[in-house]
Amino acid sequence: MTPTDATATAGSAPPAPRITAAGRRTRDRIVRTAAELMFRKGVAGTSIPDVQQAAKVSASQIYHYFGDKSDLVRAVIRHQIERTLEGQRPLLDRLDSFEALRAWCDEAVEVQKRRNCEGGCEIGSLASELVETCELMRGELVAAFDRWEAPIREGLRRMRETGVLVADADVDHLATAMLAAVQGGLLLTQVRRSPEPLRAATDAAIGYVETFAA
């Protein structure tokens, strides 16, 4: 809730709740716009004035919600991991069989085909650009990858519990290998403009998990 937002919605309804909702919408629009710009032009290539112009907000609105660019970038990371996980649901939340693992990877490959293998991974690109900038940023990236890895590990754990995988299968290790394959596969698929690297990488990761089949 800011003077700016109050101004923007002034006179249209009971002040407090409407202003809060409007404030939230403004904040969301800033984050979505920043995320789009940073995905296309990189974080370094996206200035606060760029975001301001594209989101049609004032500088004071941006600085009200985000103390500085670093704050905004961290909100962008959270937004992008949220969108990435959302896009992979419901498959991501039910990785409890080899068929489910394959369906999830097939869908990831299809998404790349639909995009002509352009753009790469929203989170991977942010990670590569930002990981060495500061510990706060790296912490945000660690949290993002942890959120992505959790449902993969959870699915593998259920496979172990239901006897699909052997009892001593290390699901932490397998989930990390799976996420790494997706990340490396997405980068090579982006560079080569071919779905084959992502296909090869995920085939390999699933093939490795299969060596732990009970």
CA 144 to chain centre: 7
> Shortest distance, CB of residue 174 to its own copies, whole angstroms?
8
Task: Return the residues of window 66-125 that contact its own copies according to CB under 8 A.
Answer: 118-120, 124-125
Identify which of 174, 92, 76 has the alpha carbon closest to the alpha carbon of residue 125.
76
Q: Choose, by CB under 8 A, the member of 42, 79, 97, 164 that binds its own copies.
A: 42
Identified binder of its own copies from the candidate list 56, 193, 213, 214, rule CB under 8 A:
193
If one asks whether residue 63 binds its own copies (CB under 8 A), the answer comes out as no
How many CB atoms sit inside 10 A of residue 29's CB? 16
Give the span between the Cα atoms of 18 and 38, in whole angstroms.
30
CA distance 195 to 101: 17
- Residue 72 CA to residue 76 CA, distance in Å, equals 6
Of 15, 136, 211, 214, the one binding its own copies by CB under 8 A = 211
- Binding positions for its own copies, rule: CB under 8 A: 40, 42, 44-45, 118-120, 124-125, 127-129, 131-132, 138, 141-142, 145, 173-174, 176-185, 187-188, 190-193, 196-198, 200-201, 203-205, 207-208, 210-211
